[in-house]
Structure 1
Amino acid sequence: MGMTRKAFLGVGAAAVCSGAFGGIALALGGPDELLRPPVVRDEAEFASRCIRCYRCISVCPTGVLAPATLDDGLLAMRTPKVDFHRGYCDFCNKCVDVCPTRAIEACDPLQPSEGRIGYAVVQPDRCLAYSTGCLECEEACPYDAISLDADNRPVVNVDACNGCGTCEYVCPALVYRSFSGGTRRGIVVVKNEAQEEKQRASIEG
């Protein structure tokens, strides 16, 4: 069924408003560390295209997409973000298909260098493999991006990791351990090197 004239005009008006909003986001600095649906190549362009229609969130079969909240930043509110505590991404492209403004682009999960959600980083202070032993993330990774070292600790092949989040989703660290006020698991997906450095600093600090 084609889009009605009323719906078409609504999308057009929203896109114009969103374009202005995206300009503000670019000027003030967007939420560069938010994990986005696959694939968002440029945060400022995404902010200018996304009309906060929730269509991508509603069709996601794994439930990994959620609307950003005020905690994620004022400019990011109500835009879709990836939350690997809720699910994982299977790159089904349903979010791409329903996006009316093409804010989300399709990508090949087997070619992470051409576009990905992020990449996984092991958190030694929380990973159970560093204490009692655990193989969950290595066994669950559908892309063979995680291997084990000589001590059976997970090692991520960043070049092969597309940030699908299956490893973070299945990580049992928060189930078997109690971390006061903590939400991080033994392996987390980060968007870029800056976010990885921030994660490392929080551990060392």
Structure 2
Amino acid sequence: MALKLEPGTRLVVATHNPGKARELAEILENRFPLVTAGELGLAEPDETETSFAGNALLKARAAAEASGLVALADDSGLSVAVLDGAPGIHSARWAGPARDFTLAMAKVEARIEEEEAGAGDLAAWFTCALAVAWPGGPAVVVEGRVDGTLTFPPRGDRGFGYDPIFVPEGGTQTFGEMDPAAKEAMSHRARAFAKLKAALL
């Protein structure tokens, strides 16, 4: 039997980040009533996997089991070529307990400067893994990626996380400066969702 996600199904989004929940609601074209793990008071599981897909699946399964609802989880992050793919799955961790991404962006810039050999190489990419898990049942995981370059100092106050330092390939504006609809049309999350839609909708 093919797995299907029926519009109108109430989903729990495995996040405590309101910005991410809003973005996922828009990507889902508001077809599903969403409640976040934060709103339900669910604990955040330790992200012990070594890949975005692994962590997304772990979070989706934990939220599905704890809530009894179909769960959607996203694990995403920024990878920098000259930093061997860091911060990668530790992207949120670089922002510290207060989730201060101004601090995280400064840390990325400082680390790049330390890598003097790569001073000219600002290639980077965002990865997003999306997982949907049914309570006690199957799960589906997909991944999307968008390549680009970093720019400093950060520009723009839209989006969240590392958006103000990331300029997608072929663009001139950072994700932090772009109109949200323009970002949505090409983001790593949108690319992952297109795959999820093909698989489940």
| TM-score, normalized by the shorter chain, greater than 0.5 | no
Higher alpha-carbon Rg:
1
Pick the TM interval, shorter chain: under 0.3
TM-score (norm 1): 0.27
Query: Please, what TM-score do these two structures have when normalized by structure 2?
Result: 0.28
> As a proportion of its length, which structure holds more strand?
2
